[in-house]
Structure 1
Amino acid sequence: MRAVWCGFALGVIVLQRLAKLPGWGAWLGLLLCVSLALTWAVWAWRGHDSARGWQAARHAGAWLAIWIAAVCIGLGYAAWRAELRLAQTLPASWQKRDVEVSGHIARMISQDRGAASFLFSVESWRIPASQSQALPDLIQLSWVARDVPLPPLVPGARWRLDVRLKRPHAQGNFGLRDAEATLLSRGVRATGYVSDERRAKRLLPDARSLSVQIERSRAVVRARIDAALADAPHRGIVVALATGAQDAVSDDDWRRLRNTGTSHLVAISGLHLAFVAGLAGWIAGALWRRARWRGIEAPLIVPAQQVAVAGAVVAAAAYAALAGFNVPVQRALWMLTVTAIALWRSREVSRSHVLAWALGLVLLRDPWAVTAPGFWLSFGAVGAILFAASGVPRVRREDDAALSPDELDPMREHDAAPPRVGCLRVFSSRISARWRAFIRRFAGRLADSARVQWAVTLALAPLSAYWFMQIPLIGPLANAGAIPWVSMFVTPMVLAGVALPAPFDAFAWQSAHAMLSWLIDALGMLEGWPWALLRLPQPGVFALCCAGVGVAWLLAPRGWPLRWLAPFTWLPLLVPSAHGPPPGAFRLTALDIGQGTSVLVETSRHTLLFDAGPGPESTHAGERIVAPYLQTHGVMRLDTLMISHDDSDHSGGAPAVLDAVPVGAFVAGILPAHPLWASARTRGAQTVQCAAGQRWQWDGVAFEVLWPDPGPLTGKPNAHCCVLRVATAQGGVGAVSALLAADIEAGTERTLVARDAAGLRSQVLVVPHHGSRTSSTEPFLDSVWPLVAIFQVGYLNRFHHPHPGVYARYASRHIVLARSDADGAVRIEAAPGTLSVERFRDTQRRYWMDTASE
């Protein structure tokens, strides 16, 4: 079954990498492939041949055919599930419109005093009679209190709401996670917000399904924790350990946990579930051994071991439900269930078979789990532990067999001694033997723990580099103390609070919070060590494969040849190749950050970021997208951060960027009193106000600021935006240039044209003011005359950018157009005489990505 489930998983993974779902021809090909493979497998297994070598070859071919059939079945199953889910689609004409829906709250995602986000299970739509399209059953809504206070929102509550929806859409950027896959995994086929809270009406009765009851129990536990801990700084970790909800964990806690490699402690993992299952099994077995029925001891009816196993599974399932059935919990629950079934049937099952069954069952339930890092980290950690532990029991038995008879039985040495002296010697020998046995057991367990920690750290390092662009070097030391502390003290205290009534629950949670405070303080000290964290660009497939081979090589059983060569396989991961363009060329990446601007310009050895997108006042794009993008692509230092002006969709993300990477120079068109100046100086950046006439060269690429004029900034922010021109060779033959125009408007465009129309000529134009009708005048476009125009706009944004007339103005000039709401991020490779354009949704397209932009 290991080969079957691994092949099934490979098929599921392949499907999630496809740009479109299989058509009828592909379905027929899959069916034919499965039929031929199974036919060959049956023939090979039933065939008989006298030659032993030929028979072994036939059996190997049969297993290969079964594996190929499993791959095809996995791909077909994932495609079938995707077809069913994608069939529920919000009509494009319903976007931007108010729609009335009735249903119940399925799950609370986050909630505070003035806003809430939740999953809403739709029971009925108020739709035209002619509508025959299958509509979404589950939508994700946000409810912001504006005119009236936010009402109590609990899972199961039925409401009739006026909502404004759109199809699932997420920003698409090279190397970053796709949130559309997360929505698809949840079954969400539309997102939106409550458009008129005054017309919202609570309906009766409440929904009473099992899933609703589970979610309501989770909400009750969270409310109790909130009441007990109020505004305690680490309350979010307590909530996460109790219910699996991680939205309340503070940014500071996340940073410390990530940088020390202990972020897995916040998730309810298999270790926590195993603790609950073990405790429940022990209690169930102990009670059953003491139970009697009609004078007959209960273990004579059903063995206490089976009752203990059943109690462990029931408790684990209850805890998994409380945790929200995340992937690590599902994996642990399925492994426990498979093991329990084997024990009930008095059969032995290998650990690798248990892990394979868990892998298949997780993907049967959720084929999109492979798109989440938790899937790879969870199965990778357990697989590494099992691989590293192979052969350990045999070695330990050999060590035990090497003990001398006198060590095993201290009585043998003193059989002939006088009675009094012999008793003293026997007593002292027994004590010393017990101490020696205790020390050996303790040393053995310590060695096992170190071996497990070594295996997990080594195995997860490449995955951490891929998903999080960092390897916490301090991780083994931090986990050596944090894992037992959280597992033995914090988690039991949190669970005790869940089980205990008031006011004892508050005491338990406050105790858990105090212990967490000590842990977080200790992690903060470890985080401050200069070598604690190694930041890396996101590795490619080749580097990951090499590192994976090195992990297996190092964790192989003793005696594996040439183990000293294994560390060299990590060199492609630890020493990545140069990622910048060649000298004399530049790369321009217009990020997809929604409504706003952020453009990264890279030369051979330098980088400049033009604007940083929205900040906390809007979509947190600077923190969610811009800073992670820099880290993903190995930008460990910005030579220049240029903030064009003080509009939140351009400058809001600057603090997140300043926190994430060192900045050499901070150049901006913002007023002298703006706090960004002080923030940049505090971080060691040189600060300069941008002004026309500023010029510099990097690696054969010329940079020139065209606007604003030197002197004090006056007027509204759009009137003194920084305008930057980048050229491969100033004035040279075949030069390629790009113009970053920020939010300049018609007046500034006229001034620039009148001053030097020829100096505006650029092959690439980041469209002024997101395509607003107040910009992109005819004379300006005639002067720039771009070959490529990039619109950085949000999906269905409330400003209706780009304006249809302006967009038509660009299209009439036969310019290559790219817009972030439809194409995602756009990457321009510019070199003298050459220009290439890459759109994210063209080269990185997946079948779930929606193409509608209007």
Structure 2
Amino acid sequence: MRAMWCGFALGVIVLQRQAALPGWGAWVALVLASMLAAGWAAWALGAAPPADESHEMVRRVFGLACGRRWRMALGWAAVWFAAGCAGFGYAAWRAETRLAEALPAAWQARNITITGYISSLPSYGEIGASFLFRVESWETHKAATRLPHLIQLSWVAREAPLPPLVPGARWRLAVRLKRPHGNGNFGLRDTEVALLARGVRAVGYVSDPGHAVRLPIDASGIGVRIERARAALRARIDAVLGDAPHRGIVIALATGAQDAVSDADRRLMRDTGTSHLVAISGLHLAFVAGFAGWIAGALWRRARWRGVEAPLVVPAQKVALAGALLAAGVYAALAGFNVPVQRALWMLAVVALALFAGREVARSHVLAWALGLVLLRDPWAVTAAGFWLSFCAVAAILFAASGVPRLHRDAPQDAAADAADPMRERTEPLAEPTARGGWLRCLAAIAYPTGGWREAMRRLASRLCDGARVQWAVTLALAPLTVYWFAQIPLIGPIANAFAIPWVSMLVAPLVIASAAMPAPIDALALRGAHTCLDWLVVVLSALEGLPWAVLRLPQPGAWPLASAAVGVAWWLAPRGWPLRWIAPFTWLPLLVPAPTGPPPGAFRLAALDIGQGTSVLVETARHRLLFDAGPGPESTQAGERIVVPYLQAHGIGRLDALMISHDDSDHAGGAQAVLDAVDVGAFVAAVLPAHPLWASARAKGAQTVQCAAGQRWRWDGVDFEVLWPDPGPLAGKPNAHCCVLRVTTSVSAAPDAQAGPVSALLAADIEAGGERTLVARDPGRLRAQVLVVPHHGSRSSSTEPFLDSVWPLVAIFQVG
């Protein structure tokens, strides 16, 4: 089963990397290949060793020696291949089914009346809320495609406050919808995949809130009841904590909803490697399951019915296991059933079924079953960071623990004790000094040689050693994945987690979970106690985050550096005695010392970021970087912090030689402060008024400050930069009238194609018709460029015909919403 589920997962991963779904020819080839592989696996793994004649015949036919060892190896390879074909086909079938639901293109520009119910816990923002809406009927069914059943809606409170948005409430709404779309930037989160994974096939907003009608009969069902329970729990937390700074973490631990976590808390936990404590994970589920199982077992041992003790009817172990599984299922439902919770729940279910059946199951088989069940439910899980971090963390723990020998003393006495009390905690004495971490165990054995309190101290040292080994294995295993997903390695993570994990597990999480079962006003005491504990945790983590070496930022690695680092992780965590383990650190060199990614000397690379309505363009030469505008800021979509800064970090850009802010419009300058806070800036060039706070922020960061003005020129690595607008002197008029216009040109001698001449790009910001006429009148030849970032996002007040004739672009880029 282990090979089957791993092969199945590999097939799902391969499908998610394809540019298109398979056609009929590919389906036929897939079915034939899987049948042949399955037949070969059945013969190779189930048949008896061949006789001499058949052995010679098979060798002649296949050109290889089919001894038993070869046959078994090829048989298991066939199992992997057949399971991979099954995973590929299953994921393709699920994708075909989901993509069949589509919003007609003609419906994207009109109001549509729909009827349905709120199917998820709403996510609240400053000006409104968003939620999933299950559509029951549309105003018309005349569509060539299957209409979406699940859409994502935003309800903006413009004139009237938001009505109560209760899960299960049925509404008749006038909405404006569009097909799912997300910002497409290399190395950043793919929003369209996330929407597809959730089953959302259209997004939009309530276009006429004043005429929204709440229908009298609410929807029903187990899913609706779960969401209502989550909403009620969130409402209780909001009522008790109000505007408390860490209220979002409490909500996340109670319901799994992370929309209320503040940006400061999110950044703090990301930089200290403790983000997993915000999401409900296997750690929290194990706590709930263990506590519920202990309570159920303890009560069952003391229960009687008509003079008959309950354990004589059903063993207390099975009742405890059933109670643990039931509590884990309820908590997983309240947590939103995310991937880490699914993984922990399926692992617990597999172990429970095995124990109920009286069978033993290997830990690796338990993890493989959880892997298969997660992907059966959601083939898109492989596109999420939580999937890889959760499964790889558990796999690393199991792999690292597999090489640690355990010696049980007094086996007969242990067996007798087990027979008397099967639920007792088995004490595992210290391992031999040759085991991994044996030095700490030996030290404990020398200091505390005999029983009593000395034995307790030895057990404590053993537990500390095991915890340190687990933390080391998880940190090492997840480092390459952390670089891939978040472009950083929190070096302070092991120290931060050594304090944060027991603090949250023993204090914060129990108080939050207990508050869900407590009546008012006792629950308020538990919630306030949990928030106080979070206050102390944040103080410690903030001190650790302030260390200069706390975070190592690296560019997002490619496939080969990531594979090399993964091999190094496995090599490093291998059991003691594995050959040449000292080579393992060298496999990380491609990850830690990436190859230069800049363009060759004399050329430049221009990346116009997809940030919605706004401008942000990165220009790279061989050894220099310039960012032209930084997109919207906190007053709008926060693209500067959400997109621009992560894009720079994912591409290994920790320093900008110049940050140029064209003018003081929020969709151009709003994200500049986030950029200044995140990366070093050599020069800050802008066309904003002298009193603008960005000047002071740039000087505080050590950047040279220069007002943007026509005539400024410089050369980087054979590439010429020239400012064409505005004229020198004090800025006058509205911001668009004096915005920076930058022309980037390769020198003739360094042009990629000397026969074609230099290559130019014109970044025109929000210049309007008047400025365009002035530039054309001065020197139309200096406007010529192959690439044009279209002025004012293509507004009718710009891009006049004489200006476009002067530029004559081959590529025009519109940065619009």
Q: 1:142 aligns with which of 143, 154, 158?
A: 154
Structure 1 partner of 2:93:
80
Per the TM alignment, residue 616 of structure 1 is displaced from its structure 2 partner at its CA by 2.0
1:38 partnered with 2:18: no
Larger deviation: 357-366 or 26-35?
26-35
Contact preservation (8 Å) 1:113, 1:150: no
Post-superposition CA distance 1:599-619 (Å, at most 9, x none): 000111110000111122222
Q: For residues 478-497 of structure 1, what are the structure 2 equivalents within 5 Å?
A: 478-497=496-515
Contact preservation (8 Å) 2:448, 2:458: no
Structure 2 partner of 1:471:
489
Give, as a single letter, the amino acid of the residue that structure 2 aligns with 1:773: R
In the alignment, the residues of structure 2 paired with residue 12 and residue 36 of structure 1 have an alpha-carbon distance, to the nearest angstrom, of: 20
Structure 2 partner of 1:838:
none
Larger deviation: 669-678 or 509-518?
669-678
Per the TM alignment, residue 682 of structure 1 is displaced from its structure 2 partner at its CA by 2.3
In the alignment, the residues of structure 2 paired with residue 751 and residue 476 of structure 1 have an alpha-carbon distance, to the nearest angstrom, of: 60
Q: For residues 133-212 of structure 1, what are the structure 2 equivalents within 5 Å?
A: 133-212=145-224
Give, as a single letter, the amino acid of the residue that structure 2 aligns with 1:203: L
Q: 1:690 aligns with which of 708, 730, 754?
A: 708
1:671 partnered with 2:689: yes
Q: For residues 3-14 of structure 1, what are the structure 2 equivalents within 5 Å?
A: 3-14=3-14
Between the two proteins, the alignment pairs up a number of residues equal to 768
Per the TM alignment, residue 432 of structure 1 is displaced from its structure 2 partner at its CA by 5.1
Query: What secondary structure is seen at the aligned counterpart in 2 of 1:218?
Result: helix
In the alignment, the residues of structure 2 paired with residue 661 and residue 395 of structure 1 have an alpha-carbon distance, to the nearest angstrom, of: 53
Structure 2 partner of 1:776:
799
1:99 partnered with 2:112: yes
Give, as a single letter, the amino acid of the residue that structure 2 aligns with 1:7: G
Contact preservation (8 Å) 2:619, 2:626: yes
Per the TM alignment, residue 50 of structure 1 is displaced from its structure 2 partner at its CA by 5.0
* Shift in CA distance, 175/113, structure 1 to aligned 2, threshold 3 Å: closer
* Shift in CA distance, 451/181, structure 1 to aligned 2, threshold 3 Å: same
1:340 partnered with 2:352: yes
Residue ranges of structure 2 left out of the alignment (5+ in a row): 56-65, 410-427, 434-446
Q: For residues 702-717 of structure 1, what are the structure 2 equivalents within 5 Å?
A: 702-717=720-735
Q: 2:776 aligns with which of 753, 758, 763?
A: 753
Query: What secondary structure is seen at the aligned counterpart in 1 of 2:695?
Result: helix
Per the TM alignment, residue 402 of structure 1 is displaced from its structure 2 partner at its CA by 7.2
In the alignment, the residues of structure 2 paired with residue 654 and residue 531 of structure 1 have an alpha-carbon distance, to the nearest angstrom, of: 25
Structure 2 partner of 1:233:
245
1:89 partnered with 2:102: yes
Give, as a single letter, the amino acid of the residue that structure 1 aligns with 2:316: A
Structure 2 partner of 1:522:
540
In the alignment, the residues of structure 1 paired with residue 627 and residue 394 of structure 2 have an alpha-carbon distance, to the nearest angstrom, of: 41
Post-superposition CA distance 1:608-632 (Å, at most 9, x none): 0001111222221111111110001
Q: 1:375 aligns with which of 371, 378, 387?
A: 387
Query: What secondary structure is seen at the aligned counterpart in 2 of 1:160?
Result: strand
Q: 2:603 aligns with which of 572, 579, 585?
A: 585
In the alignment, the residues of structure 2 paired with residue 446 and residue 144 of structure 1 have an alpha-carbon distance, to the nearest angstrom, of: 52
Give, as a single letter, the amino acid of the residue that structure 1 aligns with 2:9: A
Contact preservation (8 Å) 2:182, 2:192: yes
Contact preservation (8 Å) 1:702, 1:730: no
Query: What secondary structure is seen at the aligned counterpart in 2 of 1:684?
Result: coil
1:120 partnered with 2:133: yes
Contact preservation (8 Å) 1:109, 1:247: no
Query: What secondary structure is seen at the aligned counterpart in 1 of 2:406?
Result: helix
Structure 1 partner of 2:300:
288
Query: What secondary structure is seen at the aligned counterpart in 2 of 1:239?
Result: helix
1:111 partnered with 2:124: yes
Query: What secondary structure is seen at the aligned counterpart in 1 of 2:121?
Result: strand
Give, as a single letter, the amino acid of the residue that structure 2 aligns with 1:68: F
Structure 2 partner of 1:804:
none
In the alignment, the residues of structure 1 paired with residue 518 and residue 587 of structure 2 have an alpha-carbon distance, to the nearest angstrom, of: 52
In the alignment, the residues of structure 2 paired with residue 19 and residue 763 of structure 1 have an alpha-carbon distance, to the nearest angstrom, of: 29
* Shift in CA distance, 396/671, structure 1 to aligned 2, threshold 3 Å: farther
Larger deviation: 482-491 or 721-730?
721-730
Q: For residues 450-461 of structure 1, what are the structure 2 equivalents within 5 Å?
A: 450-461=468-479
Contact preservation (8 Å) 2:429, 2:459: no
Q: 2:275 aligns with which of 250, 258, 263?
A: 263
Give, as a single letter, the amino acid of the residue that structure 1 aligns with 2:692: H
Query: What secondary structure is seen at the aligned counterpart in 2 of 1:102?
Result: strand
Contact preservation (8 Å) 1:708, 1:720: yes
Give, as a single letter, the amino acid of the residue that structure 2 aligns with 1:87: A
Structure 2 partner of 1:736:
759
Post-superposition CA distance 1:759-802 (Å, at most 9, x none): 112122111122222222222122222222222222xxxxxxxx
In the alignment, the residues of structure 1 paired with residue 466 and residue 356 of structure 2 have an alpha-carbon distance, to the nearest angstrom, of: 29
Per the TM alignment, residue 718 of structure 1 is displaced from its structure 2 partner at its CA by 1.3
* Shift in CA distance, 694/282, structure 1 to aligned 2, threshold 3 Å: same
Residue ranges of structure 1 left out of the alignment (5+ in a row): 404-428, 795-854
Structure 2 partner of 1:414:
none
Post-superposition CA distance 1:566-588 (Å, at most 9, x none): 11111111111111112221111
Q: For residues 211-250 of structure 1, what are the structure 2 equivalents within 5 Å?
A: 211-250=223-262
Contact preservation (8 Å) 2:661, 2:686: yes
Contact preservation (8 Å) 1:103, 1:123: yes
In the alignment, the residues of structure 2 paired with residue 315 and residue 589 of structure 1 have an alpha-carbon distance, to the nearest angstrom, of: 50
Query: What secondary structure is seen at the aligned counterpart in 2 of 1:143?
Result: strand
In the alignment, the residues of structure 2 paired with residue 2 and residue 233 of structure 1 have an alpha-carbon distance, to the nearest angstrom, of: 45
* Shift in CA distance, 399/731, structure 1 to aligned 2, threshold 3 Å: closer
TM-score by length of 1: 0.88
In the alignment, the residues of structure 1 paired with residue 469 and residue 109 of structure 2 have an alpha-carbon distance, to the nearest angstrom, of: 57
Larger deviation: 138-147 or 755-764?
755-764
What is the alpha-carbon root mean square deviation over aligned residues? 1.8
Q: 2:518 aligns with which of 492, 495, 500?
A: 500
1:655 partnered with 2:673: yes
1:612 partnered with 2:595: no
In the alignment, the residues of structure 1 paired with residue 474 and residue 408 of structure 2 have an alpha-carbon distance, to the nearest angstrom, of: 21
In the alignment, the residues of structure 2 paired with residue 518 and residue 401 of structure 1 have an alpha-carbon distance, to the nearest angstrom, of: 37
In the alignment, the residues of structure 2 paired with residue 47 and residue 647 of structure 1 have an alpha-carbon distance, to the nearest angstrom, of: 77
Per the TM alignment, residue 487 of structure 1 is displaced from its structure 2 partner at its CA by 0.4
Give, as a single letter, the amino acid of the residue that structure 1 aligns with 2:640: G
Structure 1 partner of 2:72:
59
In the alignment, the residues of structure 2 paired with residue 780 and residue 431 of structure 1 have an alpha-carbon distance, to the nearest angstrom, of: 88
Per the TM alignment, residue 430 of structure 1 is displaced from its structure 2 partner at its CA by 12
Per the TM alignment, residue 35 of structure 1 is displaced from its structure 2 partner at its CA by 1.1
Give, as a single letter, the amino acid of the residue that structure 1 aligns with 2:344: A
Give, as a single letter, the amino acid of the residue that structure 1 aligns with 2:11: G
In the alignment, the residues of structure 2 paired with residue 318 and residue 432 of structure 1 have an alpha-carbon distance, to the nearest angstrom, of: 45
Structure 2 partner of 1:785:
808
* Shift in CA distance, 18/518, structure 1 to aligned 2, threshold 3 Å: same
Per the TM alignment, residue 673 of structure 1 is displaced from its structure 2 partner at its CA by 2.1
Structure 2 partner of 1:541:
559
* Shift in CA distance, 430/686, structure 1 to aligned 2, threshold 3 Å: closer
* Shift in CA distance, 242/402, structure 1 to aligned 2, threshold 3 Å: closer
Give, as a single letter, the amino acid of the residue that structure 2 aligns with 1:452: V
* Shift in CA distance, 54/793, structure 1 to aligned 2, threshold 3 Å: same
Per the TM alignment, residue 56 of structure 1 is displaced from its structure 2 partner at its CA by 2.9
In the alignment, the residues of structure 2 paired with residue 83 and residue 435 of structure 1 have an alpha-carbon distance, to the nearest angstrom, of: 64
Q: Bigger relative contact order, structure 1 or 2, given CA contacts below 8 A and separation 6+?
A: 1
Query: What secondary structure is seen at the aligned counterpart in 1 of 2:618?
Result: strand
Q: For residues 818-837 of structure 1, what are the structure 2 equivalents within 5 Å?
A: none
* Shift in CA distance, 697/321, structure 1 to aligned 2, threshold 3 Å: same
Query: What secondary structure is seen at the aligned counterpart in 1 of 2:120?
Result: strand
Structure 2 partner of 1:601:
619
Per the TM alignment, residue 57 of structure 1 is displaced from its structure 2 partner at its CA by 2.2
1:328 partnered with 2:340: yes
Query: What secondary structure is seen at the aligned counterpart in 2 of 1:18?
Result: coil
In the alignment, the residues of structure 2 paired with residue 486 and residue 131 of structure 1 have an alpha-carbon distance, to the nearest angstrom, of: 52
In the alignment, the residues of structure 1 paired with residue 193 and residue 432 of structure 2 have an alpha-carbon distance, to the nearest angstrom, of: 56
Q: 1:719 aligns with which of 737, 743, 750?
A: 737
Post-superposition CA distance 1:324-377 (Å, at most 9, x none): 001000000000000000000110000000000000000000000111100000
Per the TM alignment, residue 442 of structure 1 is displaced from its structure 2 partner at its CA by 1.2
